[in-house]
Amino acid sequence: MARKGGSALRRARAWLPGLLLVTPSIIAIGVFVYGMLGWNFSLAMTDKHDEVSEGNFVGLQNFVDIWDEPRWHLSVNHAILFTVVFVLGALVLGWFLAFLMEKGIRGEGTFRAIYLFPMAISFVATGIVWRWLMNSGQDERAVGLNRLFDVVGLPQWAWFRDQDWGMAAMAIPAVWQMSGYVMALFLAGFRGIPEELREAARVDGCTEWGVYRHVVLPLLRPVTLSALIILGHISLKTFDLVMAVSGKQIITDVPAVFMWVAVFDFHDPAKGATIASYIVLSVAVFVIPYLIWSVRKERRS
């Protein structure tokens, strides 16, 4: 049997078991991810604006209509601000911490544990602490961080209740939670760079900083990119954090929260699905190129 079949069959015999092994996952992902996404998109294209109506196909009407809502603009702007502050903050802080620890210091394990620790606590509880810390009271009524800043002499502000920059404050707990993880990634990246390379650069007469710029940073690019993707998608989906710290208030509204409100308060399935679709699309816009690029890059190497 093996001898007679053409080479195609032989090749098929080589990969078929692999395919079989992955099949359960394919089915599960097919149903739970793509089935749900399909359901979501098809719902978003109907006029099912309450639970009882049938819902007729209306094409992309909902996707257009939502831009007439002031709240939608607000929540999109909030999400952008939050994403910028959170992603940059966690990246820079994580990188900086890794940079400080890279040379190997005493008690590294302890520091690592401290920085990674926030990942381990659920926001159901830390949300309250952050709400206390970011209390908007100032001067004689200052509590939380403002009290601390008052004592140290730093400027106080309303944190996440600030009309314009509140979402930047909302990103602080997120940075707190994720920068330890980014640090671990970068630390692994640093350690993965062979010492010989650095040595060689030094021999070529580079300063320490030069070594850093020309050898280390370029090699960290892939780490940076994957950290960027991880942070970015967390950011666009952020929901637990906002709900735990501030709840469903307009002042900290983001699309993920707006979607929750649309589904469970407005009882408007189509609108909720529309917002969910936008979230998926926004993630897709910067994730898909990355995925394609990374798969291609592997093929080349």
Partner 1 sequence: MLIAFAVVFLIPVYVLLVTSFKPLTEANPSQAWNLPQVWTLEAWRVAWEKLAPGIWNSVLLAVPGSLLSCVLGSMNGYVLSKWRFPGADVLFTLFLFGMFIPYQGVMIPLVQLMVNIGMYGDISGLVLAHVVYGIPICTLIFRNYYVTIPDELIEASRVDGAGMLRTYWSVVLPVSGPAFAVVIIWQFTSLWNDFLFAVFLTGPQSWPTTVMLNNIAGAQATPYSQQMAAALLASIPTMLIYLVLGRFFMRGLMAGALKG
Partner 2 sequence: MRRRWLAGITMAAVLGLAACGGGGGPAAPTGQASGTGGGAKQQVEVFSWWTGPGEADGLKAMKEIFEKQNPNLTFFDAAVAGGSGDKAKALLQSKLQADTPPDTFQGHAGAELLGYIKAGDLEDLTFLYDELKLKDAFPAQLVEQISYQGKIYSVPVNIHRSNILWFNPSVLKEAGVAAAPKTIEEFIAALEKVKAKGKIPLSIGSEWTVTHLMESVLLGSLGTDAYNALFKPGADWGSADVTKALNDFAKIMSYAGDPQDDWQPAAAQVAEGQAAFNIMGDWAYGYFHNPPEGGLGKQSKTDFDWAPSPGTEGTYMWLSDSFTLPKGAKNRDGAVAWLKVAASKEGQDAFNPKKGSIPARKDADAALYTDYLGDALKDWSSNKLAGSVQHGVAVSQPWLASINESVGLFIGTKDVAALQKGLVDAAAANAQ
Report d(CA 45, CA 38) in Å as an integer. Answer: 11
Q: Decide: helix, strand or coil at residue 46.
A: strand
Q: Which 45-104 residues touch partner 2, going by CB under 8 A?
A: 50-52, 70-71, 74
Q: Which 97-126 residues touch partner 1, going by CB under 8 A?
A: 97, 100-101, 105, 109, 111-126
Among 15, 57, 67, 209, binds partner 1 (CB under 8 A): 15
Compute the least distance from the CB of residue 154 to partner 2, in Å: 18
Among 88, 116, 219, 251, binds partner 2 (CB under 8 A): 251
DSSP output for 192-244:
TS-HHHHHHHHHTT--HHHHIIIIIHHHHHHHHHHHHHHHHHHHHH--HHHHH
Q: Which is nearer to partner 2, 11 or 71 (CB)?
A: 71
Q: Which 108-167 residues touch partner 2, going by CB under 8 A?
A: 131-132, 135-138, 141, 158, 161, 163
Which DSSP state fits 3? T
Least Cα distance to 48 among 298, 285, 273, 225 occurs for 273
Among 80, 216, 250, 283, binds partner 1 (CB under 8 A): 283
Q: Which is nearer to partner 1, 131 or 202 (CB)?
A: 131
Task: Look at phi and psi of residue 143 and say left if phi exceeds 0, alpha if psi is from -120 to 50, else beta.
Answer: beta
Query: Applying CB under 8 A, which residues contact partner 2?
Result: 50-52, 70-71, 74, 131-132, 135-138, 141, 158, 161, 163, 246-251, 253, 260-261, 263-268
